[in-house]
Amino acid sequence: MKIFAAIFFIALNLSAQTNPPAASPATVTTPATNPPPSAVQRAEQIRAECVAGRRVICGKILKVLPGGLVVDSGYADLLRAPLNKSWLVPGSVSASRDANQIETREPGSVCIGVVYLTNLPKSRGVKPKQYDYVTLLGYPTGQYTYASVGEIKKTVRAFSANILSAVNQNLAAEEKKAAVEPTK
C-alpha cells in the first residue's frame, strides 16, 4: 500500500510539472469581446429590474381608458383590512392619503402620484369606474402619455399588474429603441 501511494504521488508530481505544448500561430486566438446577452438572459435581467422596481399602486381611479387606468396613487389607507381583500374597492369607501408620505426606492413600497396601470386582473362582472379605488402590485413599464383635459397631454409612469406583460413590454420597447438608434 505504501508503494502504491508513493507511485501515485510521484506520478501526480510529474504531471503537474509538465508544460503544455506551445500553440502554433494558427491556433492562437485573440481574446473575444463580451458577446451581447442572449434574449433569455436579457429577459431575465429585465424581469429582475421589474421586480426591483415594483410598487404598490393604491389609489383613486381618475380616468378609465381602453388599455388601462389612470390612478392617483398614494392612498396607503386602502391597505387596511377589510379593504385589502379585493383589488377593486368601491368609490363609496372613505379613504385618505397622507400628505407627508414619500415614495421610497424599496421594492414593494407604496407608489405616490399619478400613474397609468395596465393588465388588470379579471373581475367577475365588476368593472372599474371613475373614482373607484384600486390596490395592486405594479411592475414598471416606462411612461405613458394621455390627454388629461381637452388637448392637454400628460406623461406619467406606467405600470403593469402582470410581471410577464411588464417584461414583454420592456423588452419590446428596448428592441424598438435599438432599431431606431444608429449602430455605433
Q: 33-65, pLDDT tens digit by residue?
A: 666 778 789 899 999 999 999 999 999 999 999
What is the model's pLDDT at position 123?
A: 77
Compute the radius of gyration of the chain from its Cα atoms.
28
> CA-to-CA distance for 139 and 118, rounded, in angstroms?
10
Let me know: does 100 contact 107? Beta carbons within 8 Å: no
What is the model's pLDDT at position 104?
A: 92
Query: Minimal CA–CA distance to 69: which of 111, 114, 123?
Result: 114
- The residue ranges of every structural domain in the chain are 47-180
What is the model's pLDDT at position 28?
A: 53
Write out residues in the chain with pLDDT < 70, as ranges.
1-35, 182-184
Q: Supply the DSSP symbol for 159.
A: E
Let me know: does 58 contact 104? Beta carbons within 8 Å: no
What is the model's pLDDT at position 54?
A: 97
Burial class (CB in 10 A: 0-12, 13-18, 19+), 75: buried
Q: No. of H helices and E strands in the chain?
A: 3, 7
What is the model's pLDDT at position 23?
A: 53
